[in-house]
């Protein structure tokens, strides 16, 4: 499959995406645990059907030591026993934050309160920005049919 646009060859994309991608780099330095970041990025990408982001975040998580069992169970995290209560709260917030049109209410007070039990204000801020960032990046990739499968961990710095 060929991409509809080549973001690396397009001057306009290059100018705009350098700012967007700096958000991703800043999130890596946030106090939200790295494992949580990868699990959330993977789950948002699964929901949206963004193959290239599923590829990236599965491989990045594995490269930093995430287990195959946990990676394989992200899609069914509610029934899995391998996630901490904090990770479960983050995954639930990520799902409701991604499926805003389905619920028509956004993130429920119950889900927000549950996440607030496990993350401080700075971590919650990072979590909200991460969910929003991943949804934006997923859409950029889906709209232009970016191909998946060739990503190498660390490829984008």
Domain limits, the chain: 11-143
The pTM of this model reads 0.94
Is the pLDDT reported for residue 157 higher than 80? no
pLDDT score at 106? 86
Which bin fits 70, alpha (ψ -120 to 50), beta or left (φ > 0)?
alpha
Q: Mean pLDDT over residues 150-157, rounded?
A: 86
pLDDT score at 156? 79
Virtual torsion, Cα 40, 140, 21, 32, nearest 10 deg: -10
Is the pLDDT reported for residue 8 higher than 90? no
**CA 105 distance to own-chain centroid:** 21
How confident is the model over 74-119, as pLDDT tens digits?
A: 999 999 999 999 999 999 999 999 998 886 688 999 999 999 999 9
pLDDT score at 155? 85
Looking at CATH, the fold of the domain delimited by 11-143 is given as AhpD-like (1.20.1290)
Instruction: Please count the helices (runs of H) and the strands (runs of E) in the chain.
Output: 8, 0
């Amino acid at each position: 499959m060929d991409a509809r646009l080549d973001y690396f060859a397009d001057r306009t994309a290059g100018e705009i995406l350098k700012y967007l991608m700096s958000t991703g780099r800043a999130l890596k330095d946030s106090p939200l645990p790295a494992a949580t970041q990868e699990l959330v990025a993977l789950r948002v990408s699964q929901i949206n059907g963004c193959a290239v982001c599923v590829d990236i975040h599965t491989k990045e998580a594995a490269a930093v030591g995430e287990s195959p069992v946990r990676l394989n169970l992200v899609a069914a995290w509610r029934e899995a026993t391998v996630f901490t209560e904090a990770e479960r709260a983050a995954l639930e917030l990520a799902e409701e934050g991604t499926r805003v049109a389905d619920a028509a209410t956004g993130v429920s007070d119950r889900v927000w309160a549950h996440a607030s039990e496990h993350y401080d204000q700075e971590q919650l801020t990072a979590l909200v920005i991460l969910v929003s960032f991943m949804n934006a990046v997923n859409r950029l990739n889906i709209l232009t049919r970016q191909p998946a499968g060739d990503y190498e961990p660390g490829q984008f710095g």
